[in-house]
């Protein structure tokens, strides 16, 4: 095996390890079970397209702050790669990286983009929750 192949293989393995560590350290996972919408807690649903940088960044940030809000609201993904997720997204005019905030009864309150900064996202979530609590 040539040195070049060994170097490339080593780099790929290192990238996989770093990527795995990042995935597991970036907060609690967010599910795709849209049936929890309207079941008594306000919910934010993110339109998400696999492998999209915009949706991936929004999802990562939501996962990061989720622990601060779990007792007050639900977090769900509308996976645009599934018929169920796409149907939900169409109904609420969502696209990748955009989210809808719904009240306890599942009625839409606000459609928004996810801010790029954690403190801005927390302020947005606090403001949306104050509208329904």
Residue 96 lies in a domain: yes
Q: What is the pLDDT of residues 79-129, one digit of tens each?
A: 999 999 999 999 999 999 999 999 999 999 999 999 999 999 999 999 999
Helical pair 53-65 and 118-132, crossing angle rounded to 10 deg:
70
Which structural domain range is residue 119 located in? 28-132
Residue 98: give its domain's CATH number.
3.40.30.10
Residue 112 lies in a domain: yes
Residue 80 lies in a domain: yes
Say how many domains are in the chain. 1
> What whole-number distance in Å separates Cα of residue 33 and Cα of residue 120?
26
Q: Which pLDDT score is estimated for 10?
A: 59
Q: What is the pLDDT of residues 98-111, one digit of tens each?
A: 999 999 999 999 99
The residue-averaged pLDDT of 65-70 equals 94
Residue 69 lies in a domain: yes
Residue 114 lies in a domain: yes
> What whole-number distance in Å separates Cα of residue 82 and Cα of residue 32?
10
Residue 107 lies in a domain: yes
Q: Which pLDDT score is estimated for 16?
A: 41
Residue 14 lies in a domain: no
Q: Kindly indicate the confidence band of residue 14, based on its pLDDT and cuts at 50, 70 and 90.
A: very low
């Amino acid at each position: 095996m040539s040195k070049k192949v060994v170097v490339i293989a080593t780099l790929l393995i290192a990238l996989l390890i770093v990527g795995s560590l990042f995935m597991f350290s970036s907060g609690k996972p967010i599910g795709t079970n849209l049936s929890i919408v309207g079941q008594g807690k306000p919910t934010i649903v993110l339109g998400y397209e696999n492998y999209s940088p915009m949706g991936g960044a929004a999802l990562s940030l939501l996962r990061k702050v989720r622990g601060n809000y779990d007792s007050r609201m639900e977090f769900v993904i509308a996976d645009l790669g599934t018929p169920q997720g796409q149907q939900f997204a169409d109904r609420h005019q969502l696209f990748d990286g955009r989210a809808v905030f719904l009240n306890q009864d599942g009625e839409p309150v606000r459609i928004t983009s996810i801010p790029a900064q954690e403190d801005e996202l927390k302020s947005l979530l606090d403001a949306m929750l104050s509208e329904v609590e």
